[in-house]
Structure 1
Amino acid sequence: MGDIHYFLGIQAQYHDHGLFVNQSAYAEEILREAGMDTTNPMPTQLPSRLDAAFKDTELFSAPKYFRSIAGRLQYLTLTRPDIQFAVNFVCQRMHAPTVTDFTHLKRILCYIRGTKAYDIYLYKCSPLSLIAYSDSDWAGCRDTRRSTTGFCALLGSSLVSWCAKRQSTVSRSSTEAEYMALA
């Protein structure tokens, strides 16, 4: 059948030293579906302060549309670790999205508009050593006081796994939050 070039929305491009994997066509499709394929790009996925997200009580008028776009963004995180936290943040509000949540969703889409060509490079001739990095905040969620954990794992020079998620329990200290992240 030959080399892989496009499979399940993921594009692969071969080079001398490895493989580029991206979802730029899928990102274009999401932007087109959301009607944001001509918007101005944003430099960041979310604003630096998210206080307004916890104060807004006005529900968004089309929650099904919100869930559709947010769900598609979840699949985009397969090759986009840079949007993992922002998409996770928005998806935590899928059950009752507010107008502010929809504003955050649109901001993520504007960020994707400017970075849709981002890809992951998989090196074919790198040493087979496994390296992992982990970090967490302490009581970052203002509602539940739970911490957020993030990690990435590299096999040689290639990023092979990443995650950003809320911890299942409340930590009493930053040390405990870091320990739970490692566990």
Structure 2
Amino acid sequence: MGDCEQFQNIREEFDRHLIDSEQSKKAHFDLCDHYVNRSRFVEKLQYFGTACIIAWLLSTQFKGLLPDGSYLVVIIPIILSLVVAVLSILEPVLKYKESAHLHEKAAKRYHTLWRSCKNWETDFPSSGDAKEAKVAVQQYREQLNDLNRESPHLSAVSWNIINKIRAKSAYNNDVSKYPSELNK
């Protein structure tokens, strides 16, 4: 195989790595955004539940709000306490922040590989660099395989979520998209 033919094969493999890393990066960023939004929603529910309890406790101090000896005076704080308890266990059980962090980390790693694949022709401008380019493409292949192994799995359910996110918004094709850092 001549250097020109080998260089063309290397170019095609770089292009495949570029597409794969870009698609994976975008998918992980979308899932990160999804989990961040879910986490924020759960936090707002928790705040709302706590505010309801405080409001109820403050309002029961006023005479005449409910008849003396009413069963509502006893039941409503119990119900609100149970609601707050259930809301407070949602985040640890659902692990939205943790999932968002894992997908963001994976997306950033795919982004790094994507940039390397995008700029490979700068390092290897001609077919005279075929041997060095072959080593580089093999390293990128290994790096992509490692990323695919170590990143959170994108199941069919995950892809359904991703497709819904993309359908709802005018999907942003900005390849440098980084969601805001999560508060840990």
Query: TM-score scaled to structure 1, two decimals?
Result: 0.30
- Structure number having the greater helix percentage: 2
- Structure number having the greater strand percentage: 1
Rg: which structure is higher? 2
> Which of the pair has the greater relative contact order for Cα pairs under 8 Å at 6+ separation?
2
Query: TM-score scaled to structure 2, two decimals?
Result: 0.29
